[in-house]
């Protein structure tokens, strides 16, 4: 069950107490910059994690400036579409609400997921590389992504996509129960995505006790949360 830290109280709370009830994830972002995109990315992760747990979700974007630019940036980074929260939020009725907003501002009413600021050196960064670089940092810590950080994310993404394409040529094997448990325990613990990435690094380097077919299924399963298109190169020449 997904639990998050409510920035208003500092307490860990169940993200969706009524599991099958509609949950509204509302991203509060104005102005097109890396910090606002990071807010949307955390909201996208919440949507994905809740859906993986069987909770229906409605994702909204609320803000006053550069909303079209933010939507385009979110789409480029592989996020779920956000509907316009200014027009639709009042129509949800009794939906559970999770607010995602930058830290330091006036918190919205209700459960608040705070996101630390972000800055990026490099205007022409591949969106998937930027997504991985942002995912590699805890959302509660400022993310200052320089050229070295972006290069590391690029190399990791290329290496993982190639490995996944290679593993896909082997006989399929299910995700081991313990690996699945570790992945879910990570993202259900306040969206600890850096720990999810550590599990994937372990799976890549694990010995023969983890068959290649199981590595493939592990990466494909984790990518339902990460949204990195790790299976994109399937069928490419070896």
List the domain boundaries for the chain: 3-115, 122-238
**pLDDT the model gives residue 17:** 82
pLDDT band per the 50, 70, 90 thresholds, residue 177: very high
The H or E element spanning position 52 is helix 34-52
Percentage, residues of the chain above pLDDT 70? 92
Mean pLDDT of 45-66: 93
| 85 pLDDT higher than 80 | no
**Which pLDDT does position 87 carry in this prediction?**
58
How far from chain centre, in Å, is Cα 32?
19
For the sheet containing 83-84, what is the strand order?
83-84, 57-62, 23-28, 96-102, 111-115
Q: What is the pLDDT averaged over residues 210-214?
A: 96
Alpha-carbon distance of 91 to 110, in angstroms, equals 17
- Model confidence at 123: pLDDT above 90: no
Query: Could you please report the per-residue DSSP string of 85-154?
Result: HHHHGGGG-S-EEEEEEETTSPPPSSEEEEE--EEES-TT--HHHHHHHHHTS-TTS-EEE-HHHHHHHH
Give the pLDDT score at 86.
64
> Any idea which residue has 């070295």 for tokens?
148
Q: Spell out the residues 6+ positions from residue 143 whose beta carbon is closer than 8 angstroms to its own.
A: 34, 38, 116, 117, 118, 119, 133, 134, 137
Least confident of 98-107, 155-164, 189-198, 226-235: 98-107
Residue 201 has pLDDT above 70, yes or no: yes
The answer to whether residue 238 scores a pLDDT higher than 90 is no
Mean pLDDT of 56-78: 92
Mean pLDDT of 19-38: 89
Q: Which residues pair with 198 in a beta bridge?
A: none
- What pLDDT was estimated at residue 16? 87
Contact present, 199 and 182 (Cβ < 8 Å): yes
Q: Give the per-residue pLDDT at 237.
A: 66
Q: Which of 197, 194, 187 is nearest to 160 (CA)?
A: 197
Residues 6+ apart with CB under 8 A from 46: 4, 15, 25, 57, 98, 100, 113, 191
Exposure of 209 by Cβ count < 10 A (0-12 exposed, 13-18 middle, 19+ buried)?
A: exposed
Q: For the ranges 68-82, 86-100, 126-140, 184-198, which has the lowest average pLDDT?
A: 86-100
| Residues paired with 13 in a beta bridge | 4
**pLDDT at position 89, please?**
47
pLDDT for the residue 207: 82
pLDDT of residue 81: 92
- Whether pLDDT at 191 is above 60: yes
Predicted local confidence at residue 93, as pLDDT: 55
Q: Is pLDDT of 92 > 60?
A: no
Phi and psi torsions of 34, nearest 5°: -65, -35
The mean pLDDT of 185-196, rounded to a whole number, is 97
């Amino acid at each position: 069950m997904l639990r998050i830290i409510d920035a208003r109280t500092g307490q860990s709370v169940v993200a969706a107490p009524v599991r099958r009830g509609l949950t509204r994830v509302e991203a509060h972002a104005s102005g097109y910059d890396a910090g606002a995109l990071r807010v949307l990315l955390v909201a996208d992760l919440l949507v994905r994690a809740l859906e993986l747990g069987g909770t229906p979700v409605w994702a909204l974007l609320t803000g006053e400036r550069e909303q079209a630019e933010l939507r385009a940036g979110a789409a480029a980074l592989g996020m779920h579409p956000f509907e316009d929260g200014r027009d639709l939020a009042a129509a949800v009725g009794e939906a559970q609400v999770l607010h995602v907003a930058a830290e330091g501002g006036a918190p919205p009413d209700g459960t608040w997921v705070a996101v630390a600021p972000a800055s990026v050196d490099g205007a022409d960064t591949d969106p998937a590389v930027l997504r991985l670089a942002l995912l590699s940092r805890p959302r509660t810590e400022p993310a200052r992504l320089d050229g070295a950080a972006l290069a590391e994310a690029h190399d990791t993404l290329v290496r993982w996509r190639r490995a996944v394409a290679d593993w896909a040529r082997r006989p399929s094997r299910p995700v081991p129960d313990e690996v699945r448990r570790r992945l879910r325990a990570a993202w259900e613990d306040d969206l600890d995505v850096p720990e999810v990435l550590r599990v994937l690094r372990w799976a890549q380097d694990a010995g023969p006790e983890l068959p290649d077919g199981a590595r493939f299924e592990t990466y494909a399963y984790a990518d339902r949360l990460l949204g990195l298109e790790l299976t994109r190169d399937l069928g490419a020449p070896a």
